[in-house]
């Protein structure tokens, strides 16, 4: 998905199903989400990220958000979720954080 907003109109249910497919069928347990182009997220989109984070943590995996736009970082900070999620300033540091 390549959008500047993650809203209900973007079919958040499909967003969640796609991640579940990657986790359950392809057994991918480590994700780096680059959010540099995202300027706005609804609570529904944030809820999907929380669900993904919890699911990955339960299975020993991890989710790292990187390149947060100022607006998304502010939204997550206001929601007190900036410290809940692991985030990195860039892709290279996020990938390095995933290494054992």
* Domain layout of the chain by residue ranges: 28-98
* pLDDT tier at 97, thresholds 50, 70, 90: very high
Helices of type H across the chain: 12-24, 43-58, 70-78, 91-98
The set of residues, in sequence order, having a beta carbon less than 8 Å from that of 72 and lying 6+ positions away, is 35, 38, 39, 40, 41
CATH superfamily of 28-98: STAS domain (3.30.750.24)
∠ Cα 82 87 90 (to 5°): 140
Over residues 46-80, the pLDDT tens digits come to 999 999 999 999 989 999 999 999 999 999 999 99
Rounded mean pLDDT, 70-96: 95
Over residues 4-37, the pLDDT tens digits come to 556 666 567 888 888 889 998 989 999 999 999 9
pTM of the model: 0.85
């Amino acid at each position: 998905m390549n959008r500047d907003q993650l809203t209900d109109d973007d079919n958040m249910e499909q967003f969640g199903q796609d991640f579940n497919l990657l986790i359950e069928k392809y057994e991918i347990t480590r994700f780096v989400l680059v959010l540099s182009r995202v300027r706005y997220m609804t609570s529904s989109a944030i809820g999907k990220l929380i669900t993904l984070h919890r699911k990955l943590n339960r299975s020993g995996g991890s989710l790292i958000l990187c390149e947060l736009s100022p607006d998304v970082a502010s939204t997550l900070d206001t929601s007190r979720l900036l410290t809940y999620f692991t985030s990195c300033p860039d892709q290279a540091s996020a990938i390095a954080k995933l290494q054992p």
